[in-house]
Amino acid sequence: ASAMREIFLEPPKVRWSDIGGQEYVKQKLREAVEWPLTHPDTFKRLGVTAPKGVLLYGPPGCSKTLTAKALATEAGLNFMAVKGPEIFNKYVGESERAIREVFRKARAASPSIIFFDEIDAIASSRGGSEGSSDRVLAALLNELDGIEALVNVTILAATNRPDVIDAALMRPGRLDRIIYVAPPDLDARKQILQIQISKMSVAGDISIEELADATDGCSGAEIAALCQRAGLKAMEDNIDAERVEKRHFDGAVRSLVKRITPEVLK
Total residues in contact with ligand ATP, by rule CB under 6 A? 21
Told to check if 256 binds ligand ATP by CB under 6 A, we report: no
Told to check if 260 binds ligand ATP by CB under 6 A, we report: no
In terms of CB distance, is 38 or 194 closer to ligand ATP? 194
Binding residue for ligand ATP (CB under 6 A) from 77, 220, 234, 248?
A: 220
Told to check if 162 binds ligand ATP by CB under 6 A, we report: no
117, β-bridge pairs = 83
| Closest of 76, 79, 53 to residue 66, by C-alpha | 79
Residue 181 to residues 23, 152, 266, Cα–Cα distance (Å): 10, 24, 10
Told to check if 231 binds ligand ATP by CB under 6 A, we report: no
Q: How far is the CB of 199 from ligand ATP (least distance, A)?
A: 10
Told to check if 197 binds ligand ATP by CB under 6 A, we report: no
Told to check if 165 binds ligand ATP by CB under 6 A, we report: no
Hey, how many other C-beta atoms are within 10 angstroms of the C-beta on 159?
22
In the shown chain, the binding pattern of residues 33 to 62 toward ligand ATP, with x for contact by CB under 6 A and - for none, equals ---------------------------xxx
Positive or negative, the CA dihedral 21, 80, 143, 165 is: positive
The residue number whose beta carbon is nearest to ligand ATP equals 220
Three-state DSSP string of 25-78: HHHHHHHHHHHHHHCHHHHHHHCCCCCCEEEEECCCCCCHHHHHHHHHHHHCCE
Burial (CB count <10 Å: 0-12, 13-18, 19+), residue 39: middle
C-alpha span between 257 and 252 (Å, rounded):
10
Told to check if 154 binds ligand ATP by CB under 6 A, we report: no
Q: How far is the CB of 191 from ligand ATP (least distance, A)?
A: 7
**What does the binding site for ligand ATP look like in residue numbers (CB under 6 A)?**
19-22, 60-66, 117, 158, 160, 184, 188, 192, 195, 220-221, 224
